């Protein structure tokens, strides 16, 4: 159990621990006594000053009666191969969000990808498991609202073969009927203010985290100026793309195209 300078990953892990502990109505001392460790060690983990072991994360789950939440958080944040450093804190924000917005220009939106599409896109088993785990947010008792725009090019980019793409487009068509989903297709073109894809997670508290992937790494930020720019550009984008009904028709054509 090493102490070290806090990193974005250990800080995000600590925030998740503090949230679950407070939801359980426990003080740091009460949680420490259940494991048992010292109160100060729990504080170090919550402050991001310590990178705990996965075994300790599973002990936290037992003490908090939180299923596998902390073990999953350890896999997602502290196991270095799971997510690159510039992305590591976004999956936690995504998992607790009340509203998710995204613009995808190259691939199907991650939470809407079928297992076969994921396996065609990702080669690492750990990454595949992580992607599938992220999709569990859609199965929550109160799932988030989702407002997603896919560039039309995404539907015509073959991943894994025609059969995989047909199944994927059929799944998108089914998802578009969900009451908590607004799914639109954007004709290929230039959309002012959006230089590439993005993911934006809004929490019930109103807090927001923005992730913008890039070939050189990417950016995950809660900077309000960046977020306001993206929100404004996304609103303008939605006004210009296909309506929900027309987007479904575009998806039906894609299903036929891949049949």
Per-residue pLDDT of the chain (259 residues; tens, 9 = 90+): 344 567 778 888 999 999 999 999 999 999 999 998 888 889 889 988 888 888 899 999 999 999 999 999 898 888 765 566 656 678 888 988 999 999 999 999 999 999 999 999 998 888 888 889 899 999 988 999 999 999 999 999 999 999 999 999 999 999 999 999 999 999 988 898 998 899 999 998 898 999 988 755 678 888 889 999 999 999 999 999 999 999 999 999 999 999 9
Q: Is 172 exposed, middle or buried (0-12, 13-18, 19+ CB in 10 A)?
A: buried
Query: Do 139 and 193 sit in the same domain of this protein?
Result: yes
Domain coverage including residue 201: 90-258
CATH code (residue 237):
3.30.870
Query: Do 52 and 15 sit in the same domain of this protein?
Result: yes
The answer to whether the bond into 126 is cis (omega within 30° of 0) is no
pTM for this model (two decimals): 0.74
Buried b or exposed e, range 80-117, using 16+ CB within 10 angstroms: eebbeebbbbbbbbbbbbebbbbbbbebbbbbbbbebb
């Amino acid at each position: 159990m090493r102490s070290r300078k806090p990193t974005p990953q250990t800080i995000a892990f600590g925030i998740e621990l503090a949230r679950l502990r407070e939801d359980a109505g426990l003080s740091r001392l009460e949680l420490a006594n259940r494991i048992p460790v010292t109160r100060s060690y729990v504080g170090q983990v919550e402050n991001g000053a310590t990178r705990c072991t996965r075994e300790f994360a599973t002990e936290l789950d037992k003490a908090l009666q939180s299923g596998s939440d902390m073990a999953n958080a350890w896999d997602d944040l502290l196991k270095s191969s799971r997510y690159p450093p510039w992305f590591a804190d976004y999956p936690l924000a995504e998992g607790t969000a009340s509203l998710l917005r995204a613009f995808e220009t190259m691939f199907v939106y991650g939470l809407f990808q079928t297992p076969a599409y994921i396996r065609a896109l990702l080669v690492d088993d750990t990454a595949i498991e992580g992607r599938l785990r992220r999709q569990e947010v859609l199965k929550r008792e109160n799932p988030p609202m989702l407002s997603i725009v896919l560039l039309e090019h995404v539907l015509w980019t073959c991943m894994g073969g025609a059969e995989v793409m047909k199944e994927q487009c059929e799944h998108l068509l089914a998802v578009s009927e969900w009451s908590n989903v607004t799914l639109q297709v954007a004709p290929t073109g230039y959309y002012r203010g959006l230089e590439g894809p993005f993911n934006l997670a809004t929490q019930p508290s109103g807090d927001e985290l923005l992730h913008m992937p890039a070939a050189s790494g990417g950016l995950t930020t809660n900077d309000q100026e960046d977020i306001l720019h993206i929100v404004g550009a996304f609103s303008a984008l939605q006004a210009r793309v296909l309506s929900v009904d027309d987007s479904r028709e575009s998806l039906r054509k894609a299903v036929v195209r891949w049949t």
